[in-house]
Structure 1
Amino acid sequence: MARLKSLCLLLLPALLMNSVTSTDDEDHVVNHDVDPDPGRIKYIWNPFLGFCGENASMVRCGGVCPETCAFKSLRCPKYCGVNCACKPRYVYSEQLNLCILKSDCPKDIEQKVVETHRVFQ
């Protein structure tokens, strides 16, 4: 029985890596009748490398659909995503890979409220 547990523990990372590196249709924004961001090719893996930054806070489960300059999601898949969340009045800038004041978003981008706009892996 102990050998079976050891074998399972050895195989688990390989199975998880396969699901993380998949490039099927699941790499696109989900749960839309019409994709709000058809130019998206892949999700952002983890923009908060080591620390959250001055405009974000460490959280246990930050989700995968942060509000951005371009999109605000009504619903989001129940995935934990990253361990940081933008502070109040800040949104995630996909161009800069950090949280910025909503008022600092480019003036030519009008935020759309959509069913789901997934940003993070």
Structure 2
Amino acid sequence: MVWFKSLCLLLLPALLMISVTSTDDEDHILDHDVDPDPGRMKYIWNPFLGFCGENASMMRCAGVCPETCAFKSLKCPKFCGVNCVCKPNYVYDEKLQLCILKSDCPQDVKQQVVESHRVFQ
């Protein structure tokens, strides 16, 4: 009986987290096959391991759709994503996996404003 109570105490935080992070907005969940970048095979996990870097700041639930050189999202699914957000005038570079000055984006890349462009898992 003691082991059952211990197991329940261990599972309680996981169950609470599932209920907190679940959403009723099923139409809000993106499938990468319908994203603006249909060739995308996978999303980026957390590139900010341990610290955000000099061009980003800590932020609880920063989201999964940062502005990039190529895309700026009008909406984004309600996922926490990473805990870092690029500082003003910086965008997330998906190849380098860090925040760079928007002015440092390649000149041949024209940023598109789209409904939603998800970057992070």
- Both structures adopt the same fold (TM-score exceeding 0.5): yes
Change in Cα spacing, 1:52 to 1:108, as seen in structure 2 (3 Å) is: same
Change in Cα spacing, 1:118 to 1:2, as seen in structure 2 (3 Å) is: farther
Q: Is the CA contact 1:32–1:116 (under 8 Å) kept in the aligned structure 2?
A: no
Pairing 1:56–2:56 present? yes
Compute the displacement of 1:35 (Å): 3.0
1:91-120 deviation line (CA, Å, top 9, x unaligned): 000010000000100111111111110101
Name 1:107's counterpart in structure 2.
107
Q: Is the CA contact 2:35–2:116 (under 8 Å) kept in the aligned structure 1?
A: no
Mapped to 1, the partners of 2:11 and 2:73 lie a distance apart of 38
Q: Is the CA contact 2:73–2:117 (under 8 Å) kept in the aligned structure 1?
A: yes
Q: Is the CA contact 1:30–1:117 (under 8 Å) kept in the aligned structure 2?
A: no
How many corresponding residue pairs? Answer: 107
Mapped to 2, the partners of 1:61 and 1:11 lie a distance apart of 22
State the TM-score, normalized to the length of structure 2: 0.76
Q: Report the secondary structure of 1:6's partner residue.
A: helix
Change in Cα spacing, 1:69 to 1:5, as seen in structure 2 (3 Å) is: farther
Runs (5+) with no aligned partner, structure 2: 18-28
Aligned-residue RMSD, C-alpha:
2.7
Mapped to 1, the partners of 2:64 and 2:2 lie a distance apart of 37
Mapped to 1, the partners of 2:61 and 2:32 lie a distance apart of 23
Q: Which moved more, 1:92-101 or 1:29-38?
A: 29-38
Compute the displacement of 1:38 (Å): 1.3
**Superposition pairs of residues 37-116 of structure 1, within 5 angstroms:** 37-116=37-116
Q: Report the secondary structure of 2:103's partner residue.
A: helix
Q: Report the secondary structure of 1:7's partner residue.
A: helix
Mapped to 2, the partners of 1:73 and 1:31 lie a distance apart of 15
